[in-house]
Amino acid sequence: MRLPSEPDPPPSINIVPMIDVIFAILTFFVLSTLFLTRSEGLPVNLPGAATAELQPQEQTVVTIDASGNLLLNQQPITLDALDAAVRQRTDGGNSPLVVINADKAVPHGQVVAVMDRLRAIPNVRLAIATERP
Q: Kindly report the length of the chain.
A: 133
Query: What pLDDT digit, counting tens, does each position of 24-70 carry?
Result: 999 999 988 877 765 555 667 777 777 777 655 577 888 888 888 88
H helix runs in the chain, sequence order:
16-34, 79-89, 108-119
Q: For 60-80, what is each residue's pLDDT tens digit?
A: 888 888 888 888 888 888 888
Query: What's the structural domain count of the chain?
Result: 1
CATH classification of the domain holding 97: 3.30.420.270
Residues 6+ apart with CB under 8 A from 113: 79
Closest CA to 41 of 72, 69, 78, 66: 72
- Whether the CB-CB separation of 52 and 132 falls below 8 Å is answered with yes
Does residue 44 fall inside a structural domain?
no
**How far is Cα 102 from Cα 68, in angstroms, rounded to an integer?**
9
Q: Is 65 within the bounds of a domain?
A: yes
